[in-house]
Amino acid sequence: MGLETSEYSFYDVLSTEEWALSMVPRPVLGVIMLYPVKDTPEIRGFRDNEQRRIENEGQHVSDRLFYTKQTIKNACGTIALLNCVGNVLDHVTVRSGSYLDRFYARTSSMTAEERAEFINQDEEIEAIHETATQQGVTECGEDVNTHFVCFSCVEGNLYELDGRKSCPINHGPCNPEAVLERSCEEIRSFMSRDPGEMRFTIIAFAKKEDC
């Protein structure tokens, strides 16, 4: 897709506990989480209360935040990646003329909905996504019940970027040097709403140790 991985790469985060966080190279530019999608009363109640709070009180969303919604089924991993990289373009290298280079140039002034429609009509990213799916080791069916979201720190605030939600979620102040720790605070909140579930995966986008 065009992301240069010689300086920054993706690392598994084994736990939200301090011993695991200390193993991740720094700085961390973003965090991606895979979690199970469920509709229990507790999860539904939290989601509805969060939406009402934003509608009633509003929230600050930085003009510099890159966010695209998701309208394509089973593309949440691609959407999370686009949101993650789109918010750290000042720190990473995207190869000139590559798909990502052209994508961000074309969508920089679009709304989240317009970006989603652009992706929906983009045959090139569909082909990239299909190739990646075929190369993967996990069988992909239609009944996908897990979902990827991204956590990004932009202008001093931590945002949850979920393409299925109506808007980004501002989770409050975030020190750019503590993106992983602040993201894991929010991830623990996800876990607390489904305490018996083990299918949480955390991935940090971080600087390689030898760079």
The structure's pTM equals 0.91
Per-residue pLDDT tens for 73-86? Answer: 888 999 999 999 99
89-120 pLDDT per residue, tens = 999 999 999 999 999 999 999 999 999 999 99
Active site residue 91: no
Length of the chain as a residue count:
211
**Residue 152, CA atoms < 13 Å, CB-side half-sphere:** 23
Cα gap 55→30, rounded to integer Å = 27
In 3D space, the residue among 78, 69, 89, 76 whose CA is nearest the CA of residue 29 turns out to be: 89
Half-sphere exposure of 34 (CA within 13 A, CB side): 17
pLDDT given at position 133:
58
Q: Which of 76, 84, 153, 184 is catalytic?
A: 76
171 given a catalytic annotation: no
147-175 pLDDT per residue, tens: 999 999 999 999 999 999 999 999 999 99
Contact 147, 197 (CB under 8 A): no
Distance CA 128, CA 91 (A): 24
Q: Identify the active-site residue in 129, 147, 171, 174.
A: 147
